[in-house]
Chain A
Amino acid sequence: MAPRILVQEAPFDAAAEAARLTEGRTDVGALASFTGLCRADDGLRAMVLEHYPGMTERALLRIAEEAMARWPLTACTVIHRHGRITPGEPIVLVLTASAHRAAALESCAFLMDWLKTKAPFWKREELAEGGSRWVEARATDEAAASRW
Protein backbone atom coordinates (compact mmCIF):
# COMPACT_ATOMS: atom_id res chain seq x y z
CA MET A 1 0.00 0.00 0.00
CA ALA A 2 1.44 3.40 -0.98
CA PRO A 3 1.98 5.83 1.90
CA ARG A 4 -0.80 8.37 2.46
CA ILE A 5 0.78 11.85 2.49
CA LEU A 6 -1.24 15.00 3.17
CA VAL A 7 0.01 18.57 3.54
CA GLN A 8 -2.92 20.76 4.51
CA GLU A 9 -4.05 23.84 6.39
CA ALA A 10 -7.15 22.21 7.88
CA PRO A 11 -7.12 20.14 11.09
CA PHE A 12 -7.17 16.35 10.69
CA ASP A 13 -9.23 13.58 12.29
CA ALA A 14 -6.67 11.24 13.86
CA ALA A 15 -9.25 8.56 14.78
CA ALA A 16 -10.69 8.45 11.25
CA GLU A 17 -7.16 8.28 9.81
CA ALA A 18 -6.28 5.38 12.12
CA ALA A 19 -9.47 3.54 11.16
CA ARG A 20 -8.49 3.72 7.47
CA LEU A 21 -5.39 1.62 8.14
CA THR A 22 -7.18 -1.28 9.81
CA GLU A 23 -10.61 -1.30 8.18
CA GLY A 24 -11.43 -4.63 6.57
CA ARG A 25 -8.00 -6.09 7.39
CA THR A 26 -7.04 -8.98 9.61
CA ASP A 27 -3.26 -8.89 9.09
CA VAL A 28 -2.58 -5.70 11.09
CA GLY A 29 -1.47 -6.59 14.60
CA ALA A 30 -0.02 -3.22 15.54
CA LEU A 31 -0.97 0.36 14.85
CA ALA A 32 1.35 3.08 16.16
CA SER A 33 0.41 6.71 16.18
CA PHE A 34 2.12 10.00 16.99
CA THR A 35 0.38 13.37 17.13
CA GLY A 36 2.44 16.53 17.55
CA LEU A 37 0.57 19.44 19.11
CA CYS A 38 1.22 23.16 19.46
CA ARG A 39 2.30 24.03 23.05
CA ALA A 40 1.76 27.41 24.71
CA ASP A 41 5.37 27.77 25.95
CA ASP A 42 5.90 31.20 27.54
CA GLY A 43 2.35 32.19 26.62
CA LEU A 44 2.91 31.63 22.89
CA ARG A 45 -0.12 32.86 20.92
CA ALA A 46 0.26 30.80 17.77
CA MET A 47 2.67 28.97 15.53
CA VAL A 48 2.74 29.85 11.84
CA LEU A 49 4.13 27.13 9.59
CA GLU A 50 5.51 27.99 6.18
CA HIS A 51 6.45 25.24 3.71
CA TYR A 52 7.70 24.68 0.17
CA PRO A 53 4.69 23.47 -1.85
CA GLY A 54 5.72 20.63 -4.12
CA MET A 55 8.97 19.82 -2.38
CA THR A 56 7.17 19.21 0.93
CA GLU A 57 4.95 16.45 -0.47
CA ARG A 58 7.91 14.99 -2.32
CA ALA A 59 10.13 14.99 0.79
CA LEU A 60 7.42 13.44 2.99
CA LEU A 61 6.72 10.74 0.42
CA ARG A 62 10.42 9.92 0.20
CA ILE A 63 10.70 9.63 4.00
CA ALA A 64 7.57 7.45 4.16
CA GLU A 65 8.87 5.20 1.38
CA GLU A 66 12.13 4.87 3.30
CA ALA A 67 10.16 3.72 6.37
CA MET A 68 8.23 1.18 4.29
CA ALA A 69 11.49 -0.15 2.84
CA ARG A 70 13.13 -0.51 6.27
CA TRP A 71 10.20 -2.03 8.18
CA PRO A 72 7.50 -4.52 7.13
CA LEU A 73 4.61 -2.04 7.23
CA THR A 74 1.15 -2.72 5.87
CA ALA A 75 0.46 1.03 5.67
CA CYS A 76 1.71 4.41 6.76
CA THR A 77 0.17 7.89 6.91
CA VAL A 78 1.85 11.27 7.35
CA ILE A 79 -0.27 14.42 7.68
CA HIS A 80 1.45 17.75 8.29
CA ARG A 81 -0.40 21.04 8.66
CA HIS A 82 0.77 24.48 7.60
CA GLY A 83 -0.54 27.98 8.22
CA ARG A 84 -1.51 29.42 11.62
CA ILE A 85 -1.94 26.90 14.44
CA THR A 86 -2.93 27.87 17.98
CA PRO A 87 -1.90 26.12 21.25
CA GLY A 88 -3.70 22.82 21.79
CA GLU A 89 -4.19 22.21 18.07
CA PRO A 90 -2.51 19.27 16.34
CA ILE A 91 0.31 20.00 13.86
CA VAL A 92 1.44 16.60 12.63
CA LEU A 93 0.15 13.02 12.55
CA VAL A 94 2.20 9.90 11.84
CA LEU A 95 0.54 6.47 11.70
CA THR A 96 2.25 3.16 11.01
CA ALA A 97 0.61 -0.24 10.76
CA SER A 98 2.33 -3.61 10.82
CA ALA A 99 1.83 -7.23 11.85
CA HIS A 100 3.96 -6.66 14.96
CA ARG A 101 4.58 -3.81 17.38
CA ALA A 102 8.34 -3.33 17.02
CA ALA A 103 8.05 -2.41 13.34
CA ALA A 104 5.12 -0.06 13.98
CA LEU A 105 6.69 1.71 16.98
CA GLU A 106 10.20 2.00 15.55
CA SER A 107 9.07 3.25 12.14
CA CYS A 108 6.76 5.80 13.77
CA ALA A 109 9.71 7.23 15.75
CA PHE A 110 11.90 7.12 12.63
CA LEU A 111 9.32 9.05 10.59
CA MET A 112 9.06 11.81 13.20
CA ASP A 113 12.85 12.09 13.57
CA TRP A 114 13.38 12.30 9.83
CA LEU A 115 10.54 14.63 9.02
CA LYS A 116 11.79 17.12 11.62
CA THR A 117 15.09 17.46 9.75
CA LYS A 118 14.28 16.47 6.14
CA ALA A 119 10.96 18.11 5.28
CA PRO A 120 10.86 21.80 4.23
CA PHE A 121 8.75 23.40 6.98
CA TRP A 122 9.62 26.52 8.99
CA LYS A 123 7.91 27.56 12.21
CA ARG A 124 7.40 31.16 13.28
CA GLU A 125 6.18 31.80 16.82
CA GLU A 126 3.72 34.60 17.60
CA LEU A 127 4.82 35.73 21.04
CA ALA A 128 2.68 36.61 24.08
CA GLU A 129 4.18 40.10 24.27
CA GLY A 130 3.52 40.71 20.56
CA GLY A 131 5.86 40.30 17.63
CA SER A 132 7.15 37.01 16.30
CA ARG A 133 10.34 35.02 15.82
CA TRP A 134 11.48 32.13 13.64
CA VAL A 135 12.14 28.90 15.49
CA GLU A 136 15.79 27.83 15.23
CA ALA A 137 16.74 24.31 14.22
CA ARG A 138 17.98 22.22 17.16
CA ALA A 139 21.13 20.12 17.18
CA THR A 140 19.26 17.49 19.23
CA ASP A 141 16.82 16.98 16.32
CA GLU A 142 19.74 16.46 13.95
CA ALA A 143 21.25 13.92 16.37
CA ALA A 144 17.90 12.10 16.67
CA ALA A 145 17.60 11.86 12.89
CA SER A 146 21.12 10.53 12.43
CA ARG A 147 20.66 7.60 14.85
CA TRP A 148 18.60 5.70 12.25
Chain B
Amino acid sequence: MKILYFAWVRERTGVAEEEIALPDGVRDIAALVDHLAARSPGHAAAFENRRTIRAAVNQDFATPDTTVAPGDEVAFFPPVTGG
Protein backbone atom coordinates (compact mmCIF):
# COMPACT_ATOMS: atom_id res chain seq x y z
CA MET B 1 0.00 0.00 0.00
CA LYS B 2 1.05 3.61 -0.59
CA ILE B 3 1.69 5.81 2.45
CA LEU B 4 1.98 9.59 2.04
CA TYR B 5 3.17 12.16 4.58
CA PHE B 6 2.61 15.90 4.49
CA ALA B 7 3.89 19.05 6.24
CA TRP B 8 5.76 18.43 9.53
CA VAL B 9 4.77 14.76 9.53
CA ARG B 10 6.76 14.43 6.26
CA GLU B 11 9.67 16.39 7.73
CA ARG B 12 9.84 14.08 10.76
CA THR B 13 9.55 10.77 8.89
CA GLY B 14 12.05 12.07 6.33
CA VAL B 15 10.03 10.67 3.42
CA ALA B 16 7.12 12.06 1.40
CA GLU B 17 5.94 8.69 0.20
CA GLU B 18 6.67 5.01 0.83
CA GLU B 19 5.31 1.67 -0.29
CA ILE B 20 4.66 -0.87 2.48
CA ALA B 21 3.17 -4.34 2.73
CA LEU B 22 0.18 -4.25 5.06
CA PRO B 23 1.01 -6.70 7.89
CA ASP B 24 -1.52 -9.34 8.94
CA GLY B 25 -3.72 -8.10 11.72
CA VAL B 26 -3.45 -4.41 10.78
CA ARG B 27 -6.98 -3.49 9.83
CA ASP B 28 -7.48 0.13 10.80
CA ILE B 29 -5.71 3.49 10.94
CA ALA B 30 -4.89 3.16 14.66
CA ALA B 31 -3.11 -0.18 14.11
CA LEU B 32 -1.38 1.14 11.00
CA VAL B 33 -0.01 4.09 13.01
CA ASP B 34 1.40 1.65 15.60
CA HIS B 35 3.05 -0.28 12.79
CA LEU B 36 4.49 2.79 11.03
CA ALA B 37 5.74 4.39 14.26
CA ALA B 38 8.13 1.44 14.66
CA ARG B 39 9.77 1.93 11.25
CA SER B 40 12.39 4.50 12.32
CA PRO B 41 13.14 7.08 15.03
CA GLY B 42 11.80 9.72 12.61
CA HIS B 43 8.52 7.85 12.23
CA ALA B 44 8.33 7.47 16.01
CA ALA B 45 8.80 11.25 16.36
CA ALA B 46 6.15 11.95 13.70
CA PHE B 47 3.57 9.81 15.48
CA GLU B 48 4.65 10.79 19.01
CA ASN B 49 1.46 12.69 19.78
CA ARG B 50 -1.29 10.89 17.90
CA ARG B 51 -3.93 13.44 18.79
CA THR B 52 -2.16 15.94 16.53
CA ILE B 53 -2.16 13.62 13.48
CA ARG B 54 -4.94 13.42 10.89
CA ALA B 55 -5.32 10.74 8.22
CA ALA B 56 -6.98 10.11 4.88
CA VAL B 57 -7.76 6.78 3.21
CA ASN B 58 -8.03 6.90 -0.58
CA GLN B 59 -8.19 10.71 -0.38
CA ASP B 60 -11.09 10.87 2.09
CA PHE B 61 -10.59 12.05 5.66
CA ALA B 62 -10.38 9.11 8.05
CA THR B 63 -10.55 8.44 11.80
CA PRO B 64 -8.51 5.97 13.94
CA ASP B 65 -11.16 3.28 13.40
CA THR B 66 -11.37 3.66 9.60
CA THR B 67 -10.48 0.32 7.99
CA VAL B 68 -7.46 -0.06 5.71
CA ALA B 69 -6.80 -2.75 3.10
CA PRO B 70 -3.94 -3.68 0.76
CA GLY B 71 -3.86 -1.32 -2.22
CA ASP B 72 -5.21 1.65 -0.28
CA GLU B 73 -3.56 5.05 -0.45
CA VAL B 74 -3.20 6.29 3.13
CA ALA B 75 -1.96 9.77 4.06
CA PHE B 76 -0.90 11.24 7.41
CA PHE B 77 -0.68 14.96 8.11
CA PRO B 78 -1.24 17.68 10.74
CA PRO B 79 -4.64 19.38 11.11
CA VAL B 80 -5.19 21.43 7.93
CA THR B 81 -4.47 25.19 7.79
CA GLY B 82 -5.61 26.37 4.34
CA GLY B 83 -7.84 29.27 3.41
Residues in A lying within 8 Å of B, measured CB to CB: 36, 49-52, 54-55, 58-59, 80, 91-92, 112, 115-124, 134-137, 141
CB distance from B13 to the nearest CB of A (A): 14
Specify which chain B residues have a CB less than 8 angstroms from the CB of A59 in the assembled complex: 59
What are 27 A-B pairs with beta-carbon distances under 8 A? A36-B83, A49-B82, A50-B6, A51-B82, A55-B56, A80-B82, A115-B82, A116-B80, A116-B82, A117-B80, A118-B80, A119-B82, A119-B83, A120-B82, A121-B82, A122-B7, A122-B77, A122-B78, A122-B82, A134-B7, A134-B8, A134-B78, A134-B81, A136-B79, A137-B80, A137-B81, A141-B83
Per-residue contact bits, chain B 1-34, to A (CB 8 Å; 1 contact, 0 not): 0001011100000000000000000000000000
Extra A-B contacts (13), CB below 8 Å, given A50-B6, A80-B83: A52-B59, A54-B59, A59-B59, A80-B82, A92-B82, A115-B83, A116-B81, A119-B80, A122-B7, A122-B82, A134-B78, A136-B79, A136-B81
Assess A123 versus B77: contact at CB under 8 Å? Given A50-B6, A55-B56, A118-B61. no
The reply to whether the CB of B75 lies closer than 8 angstroms to some CB of chain A is yes
CB distance from A139 to the nearest CB of B (A): 10
User: Can you list the 8 inter-chain pairs with the closest CB atoms, starting with the nearest?
Assistant: A121-B82, A137-B79, A116-B83, A122-B7, A55-B59, A135-B81, A123-B81, A119-B82
Q: Is the CB of A52 within 8 A of B82?
A: no
Specify which chain A residues have a CB less than 8 angstroms from the CB of B82 in the assembled complex: 49, 51, 80, 92, 115-116, 119-123
Q: Chain A CB within 10 Å — which of B6, B78, B82 has the most?
A: B82
Specify which chain B residues have a CB less than 8 angstroms from the CB of A58 in the assembled complex: 59
Specify which chain B residues have a CB less than 8 angstroms from the CB of A91 in the assembled complex: 83
Q: Is the CB of B78 within 8 A of A52?
A: no
Specify which chain A residues have a CB less than 8 angstroms from the CB of B75 in the assembled complex: 52, 55, 120
Q: How far is the CA of A137 from the CA of B78 in the complex (A)?
A: 8
